[in-house]
Amino acid sequence: MHPTLAGLLFWRRKADRLREFAETEAFGARDLARAAERVEDPWLRRQLIRHAQDEVRHASLLGENAAPASERALGGAVVGDTGGGEAGIDIDKMGEVAFIAFVHEAEKRATAEFAMHRDALGAEGELFNSILADEKRHVAWTGHQLQRWREAGRGAEVDAAVGRMRRQRWMNAWLWFARRVSLFMSILVLTVVFYAVLAPFALLAGRRPRGWQLAPPNDLSREF
């Protein structure tokens, strides 16, 4: 088959992409396992655990083909906050219906993406064949679970969750845009404030004294 443009682009960063996939799969496994601990329904629990086991297998298959993970770049921000690791998806926050709806939509997307990679990678894409078979099963079981809830009279809840997931893709794009705009505006305003308004106070701020200081009183009822 002819290489597609997307294929060529992905090809360039094959190792990176594979590692990214591997990490996503591994993270997914952790979230799914934890979700299995939270749900009451035995069938659902069984699927979640099996699903987690699949994702671990995928992670190791992909990981073997990827470059070793390197440490996150961080040259500064010593005084600021640490981002910590990546947050996964979280059944405690989402609730079980939204969680499964999310997994369902995500698996659908993953299936499509894996298929594209398999085609783009040509012979090396063989790797994705066994993974793809699993992914299709993941789409199927999550779809089946959503159906079970529908039959149990939770159709409205399911539809709402699925709709939310689909809208969220557009929503995320919009939010990203809105955030950029508001970030830009706040940078603008704050920069003006910093240079124009606060400049005279800078002289007052001066230097803090060095050496040993007396501690201010620690009155617990006060925020200062």
Structure tokens at 64: 């073997």
The dihedral built from the CA positions of residue 21, 22, 25 and 26, taken in this order, carries a sign that is: negative
Residue 10: other Cβ atoms inside 10 A: 19
- Binding of Fe ion by 117 (CB under 5 A): no
Q: Which residue type is seen at 38?
A: R
Q: Which residue type is seen at 155?
A: G
The nearest distance, CB 99 to another protein, in angstroms, is 14
State the chain's maximal CA–CA distance in angstroms: 75
The dihedral built from the CA positions of residue 64, 47, 108 and 38, taken in this order, carries a sign that is: negative
The nearest distance, CB 179 to another protein, in angstroms, is 11
Tell me, rounded to whole angstroms, the distance of Cα 136 from its chain centroid. 21
Nearer to another protein, 80 or 153 (CB): 80
CB contact burial 212-223 (16+ within 10 A = b; e otherwise): eeeeeeeeeeee
Nearer to another protein, 26 or 160 (CB): 26
- Binding of Fe ion by 138 (CB under 5 A): yes
- Binding of another protein by 178 (CB under 8 A): no
> Which one of 31-39, 85-93, 106-114, 159-167 is the stretch in contact with Fe ion (CB under 5 A)?
106-114
- Binding of Fe ion by 19 (CB under 5 A): no
Nearer to another protein, 140 or 187 (CB): 187
CB contact burial 154-175 (16+ within 10 A = b; e otherwise): eeebbeebbeebeeeeeeeeee
The nearest distance, CB 20 to another protein, in angstroms, is 14
- Binding of another protein by 208 (CB under 8 A): yes
Q: In whole angstroms, what is the distance from residue 104 CA to residue 145 CA?
A: 10
- Asked if 140 contacts 88 with a C-beta cutoff of 8 angstroms, the reply is no
Report what 58 binds from another protein, Fe ion, none; CB cut-off 5-8 Å by kind: Fe ion
Within 138-157, the residues that bind another protein by CB under 8 A are none
> Which one of 5-13, 44-52, 115-123, 140-148 is the stretch in contact with another protein (CB under 8 A)?
44-52
- The binding site for Fe ion (CB under 5 A) comprises 25, 55, 58, 107, 135, 138
- The binding site for another protein (CB under 8 A) comprises 26, 29-34, 36-37, 42, 45-46, 49-50, 52-53, 56, 59-60, 69-82, 84-88, 90, 92, 186-187, 190-191, 194-195, 198-199, 201-202, 205-216, 218, 220-224
